[in-house]
A and B are shown apart, each in its own frame.
Chain A
Amino acid sequence: MSREEEILEKIKESFGDDVKNITIKRSRRMFAETDAKHLKEFLRYARHELEFDHLSAITGEDLGDEIELIYHIAYQNAIELSIKIKVPKEDPRIATIVDLYPSAGIYEREVHDLLGVVFDGNPDLSPLLLPDNWPKGVYPLRKDVSLEEIREILEKGGEKG
């Protein structure tokens, strides 16, 4: 059995249906999905039991009614497991994982800045990338605002920095 298959089996054993669609896309690339409420428990398990000790990144994507968050974690810097959850766009919040992976702080800040997701418990969600005078409530990576629209908003809102 490959390491990826071992990991898959262990996750199935420990989480059953709470973690779905675990796929081994190719060697060293795994994907899975879970609910927001199981995420932290899963990541704790992955960190401590499966030794996924590195958080590579957190991706956010606007799917329309929901915002998808993908946590990319690595085992021995080799096998990347991308675990996906969805939060409602109306109230996009999820618990922080900064206590499990300290580097998550900066990735959560970036997703907050560009997509407006709130990470409860993150001690610093101040803007990371966008300027001080950026209009509130405009999240550039959301699909419901186009590049042209953002430029129009900026031009109207003025650019005093």
Chain B
Amino acid sequence: MGLLKWARRKSPWIIHFNTGGCNGCDIELLAALTPKYDVERFGILLKGSPRHADILAVTGPVTNQTRDRLLRIYEQMPEPKYVIAIGTCAVSGAPFWDCYNVIGGVDKLFPVDVYVPGCPPRPEAIIQGFVKLLKKMEVEGDE
């Protein structure tokens, strides 16, 4: 079935977590929700609870304080779950790679399905990341 149809039928829920980023990615992620970019037309909804989320969207370079919370959110999510790392910090930790309170990219803790590099990535790039992820979910969902 078409991606849009699938997305609307499934309506994937996202939980977002900022692990210590400068908020540059957060504001572009939020911009993606606003009318100009409107990621909700893909049926994507930003929800609060990890227990109902399909997708975990992470921004930031994972600081010591946020590491355990991030892990806990991931553990609370039911299968099948997917992770999108938004921004170069979530991808690899750079430019904070050597900072003493930074652990690094999200994949140091658990597997990431889609990486969206950029500092920050534009809303278009974030949406493209989500579309790639939705395609992946559709393919795996049909298996």
Q: Residues on A close to B: CB < 8 A?
A: 130-131, 133-134, 140, 147, 150-151, 154, 159-161
A154 interface neighbour in B64, B68, B98, Cβ under 8 Å: B64
Query: Complex formed: what's the CA distance from A131 to B69 in Å?
Result: 13
Q: Do A140 and B100 touch across chains, with their CB atoms under 8 A apart?
A: yes
Q: What number of B residues sit within 8 Å (CB to CB) of A?
A: 11
Query: In the complex, which residue of chain A has the Cβ closest to the Cβ of B99?
Result: A147
Q: Residues on B close to A: CB < 8 A?
A: 63-65, 67-69, 98-101, 103
Q: 4 other contacts beyond A147-B100, A159-B64, A161-B65, with CB at 8 A cut-off?
A: A131-B64, A131-B101, A161-B64, A161-B68
> Using Cβ atoms and an 8 Å threshold, which residues of chain A touch B65?
131, 161
22 pairs of residues in contact across A and B, judged by CB atoms under 8 Å: A130-B101, A131-B63, A131-B64, A131-B65, A131-B101, A134-B64, A140-B100, A147-B98, A147-B99, A147-B100, A150-B100, A151-B100, A154-B64, A154-B100, A159-B64, A159-B67, A159-B68, A160-B68, A161-B65, A161-B67, A161-B68, A161-B69
CB distance from A121 to the nearest CB of B (A): 29
> Using Cβ atoms and an 8 Å threshold, which residues of chain A touch B99?
147
> Using Cβ atoms and an 8 Å threshold, which residues of chain B touch A147?
98-100
Query: In the complex, which residue of chain A has the Cβ closest to the Cβ of B69?
Result: A161
Query: Complex formed: what's the CA distance from A130 to B99 in Å?
Result: 13
> Using Cβ atoms and an 8 Å threshold, which residues of chain B touch A154?
64, 100
> Using Cβ atoms and an 8 Å threshold, which residues of chain B touch A140?
100
> Using Cβ atoms and an 8 Å threshold, which residues of chain B touch A150?
100
CB distance from B44 to the nearest CB of A (A): 30
